[in-house]
A and B are shown apart, each in its own frame.
Chain A
Amino acid sequence: MKVLRLGIGLAIVFAASWALAQGMADKGATDKRRSGTQDMGEALQKMQDDDTANPGMLFVQLGGQLWGKAAGAAGKSCADCHGGAASMKGVAARYPAIPKDADAPVDLEGRINLCRTANQQAAGFPPESRELLALAAYVAHQSRGLPIAPPDDPKLVPFRLKGQDLWKVRQGQLNLSCAICHDDNAGRKLAGVTIPEAHPTGYPIYRLEWQTLGSLKRRLRNCLAGIRAEPYAYDATEYVMLDLFLMDRARGMMLESPGVRP
């Protein structure tokens, strides 16, 4: 009897794992979306995957130090309220979001600065500052390997739709939209370089071209400059709205922060 039960048990386990594997295979077959990682050469993929070679990990380390450091008039550290890094698991996968009692969404960096000003009573970090990127990288790193999972907050919908409009509108002297390159021509070569699908899977990201870590905002500003459009102001909600749209477009894809790109 024991042997029979064990046999049935094993069969059930096998059947379940086979079904799971099939489900994942089906999902892999139907989901044609590609992270920019897949378009990089093997050397860069290895650099991203190896924590001792990924330069973004230096920022994660710095972020870890800042996390435990008291700041502002309140004399509190992030850890004083949030505890250890584990409390941040999944957070980056669901941002941007609307803070409690607010009516507009903020991105991850915006949320960090809200904590600075409201809870620590300290000045917010400047955009693209080392400290802000380091804390964002530290928080985002806790979600590495998790699927992007934007919240189903109905209040986000109009902002996301506005982000979609911004994605599709032609602008700049070259009169191009984000969608023309990254939807309609993704995978083709622009000046010999493969156009990525623009999924925000690895932010903040270490670009070799920048020789530093940078936010999605910086990347969006690069594209705007490329089409010779006036970049939105650093504190503009347009970036948050584009972020919302892109995170929804990448829903279910795996976070890789800190990513490495050429």
Chain B
Amino acid sequence: MLRPGLLAAALALAAPAAVAQQIAPQIVGDGIPASLTGQPGDAARGRAIVANRGIGLCLLCHSGPIAEERFQGDLSPSLAGAGSRWSEGQLRLRIVDGARLNADTIMPAYYRTSGLQRVARNFDGKTILSAAQVEDVVAYLATLKD
């Protein structure tokens, strides 16, 4: 009985994530206070996304407290302590579209499809992360208190 219930819950989560692509995140001050999906993210899933070089891509440029990933970047600040430096809303805007805060940032906008040039056909019109994935990453980074 539990299994179909979980599946239904997963589908229910997946549906608003797809729809959320149409909705512009509401920026307030230097953050996006509300969850993109209306649901809190999952920190464990977020950690896996951050660690994955083909999905989150985070550790290409950043280092972070993920010891099993030996090959990390040093182009950008360490993710350690991100949850102390920023609120969830601030983290969310930095992931969604950091260029809103710093036009020269080299960090890609993870939840924006406009203003990009010559995007590869297989990625055209798609965001780097889905709304649900952004929320998972926000939830994970918020746990990095030191």
Q: What separation, in Å, do the CA atoms of A224 and B128 have in the docked complex?
A: 16
B75 at the interface (CB under 8 A from A): yes
Nearest residue (CB) in A for B99 is A175
Residues of A within 8 A of B120 (CB): 172-173, 224-225, 228-231
Q: Is the CB of B128 within 8 A of A192?
A: no
Q: What separation, in Å, do the CA atoms of A139 and B69 have in the docked complex?
A: 42
B142 at the interface (CB under 8 A from A): no
Q: Is the CB of B123 within 8 A of A228?
A: yes
Residues of A within 8 A of B118 (CB): 171-172, 229-230
B3 at the interface (CB under 8 A from A): no
**Partner-contacting stretch, out of B22-30, B33-41, B53-61:** B53-61
Q: Tell me the dominant secondary structure on chain B's binding face.
A: loop
8 Å CB contact of A174 from B59, B72, B128: B128
Q: Is the CB of A176 within 8 A of B106?
A: yes
Which parts of A167-212 form the interface with B (CB within 8 Å)?
169-176, 180, 184-185, 188-193
B109 at the interface (CB under 8 A from A): yes
- Please, how many residues of chain A have a CB less than 8 angstroms from a CB on the other chain? 23
Q: Is the CB of A173 within 8 A of B73?
A: no
Residues of B within 8 A of A170 (CB): 117
8 Å CB contact of A173 from B53, B61, B123: B123
Most chain A C-beta atoms within 10 Å of own C-beta, residue among B71, B74, B118:
B118
8 Å CB contact of A230 from B61, B71, B119: B119
Which parts of B73-120 form the interface with A (CB within 8 Å)?
73-75, 106, 108-109, 116-120
Q: Is the CB of A190 within 8 A of B75?
A: yes
Q: Is the CB of A173 within 8 A of B117?
A: no
Q: Is the CB of B117 within 8 A of A171?
A: yes
Q: Tell me the dominant secondary structure on chain A's binding face.
A: loop
Nearest residue (CB) in B for A169 is B117
Q: What separation, in Å, do the CA atoms of A185 and B105 have in the docked complex?
A: 13
Q: Is the CB of B72 within 8 A of A192?
A: yes
Q: Is the CB of B73 within 8 A of A228?
A: no
Q: Tell me how far the C-beta of B44 lies from the nearest C-beta in chain A, rounded to whole angstroms.
A: 23
Residues of A within 8 A of B109 (CB): 175
Known: A174-B108, A228-B123. A191 touches B117 (CB 8 A): no
8 Å CB contact of B126 from A173, A174, A224: A173
Known: A188-B75, A189-B73, A191-B71. A230 touches B121 (CB 8 A): yes
Q: Is the CB of A229 within 8 A of B70?
A: no
Q: What separation, in Å, do the CA atoms of A172 and B123 have in the docked complex?
A: 9
Residues of B within 8 A of A189 (CB): 72-75
Nearest residue (CB) in A for B112 is A175
Nearest residue (CB) in A for B121 is A230
Residues of B within 8 A of A176 (CB): 106, 108
- A-B pairs with beta carbons under 8 Å apart, 23 shown: A170-B117, A171-B119, A172-B116, A172-B119, A173-B116, A173-B126, A173-B128, A174-B57, A176-B108, A180-B106, A184-B106, A185-B106, A188-B74, A188-B75, A190-B60, A190-B61, A191-B59, A192-B70, A192-B72, A229-B117, A229-B119, A230-B120, A230-B121
Listed in ascending order, the chain A residues whose CB lies under 8 Å from chain B are 169-176, 180, 184-185, 188-193, 224-225, 228-231
Sample of 4 more A-B contacts, CB < 8 Å, known A171-B118, A184-B106, A190-B75:
A175-B108, A188-B74, A189-B75, A224-B120
List of 5 A-B pairs having minimum Cβ-Cβ separation, nearest first:
A192-B71, A173-B123, A171-B118, A174-B108, A171-B117
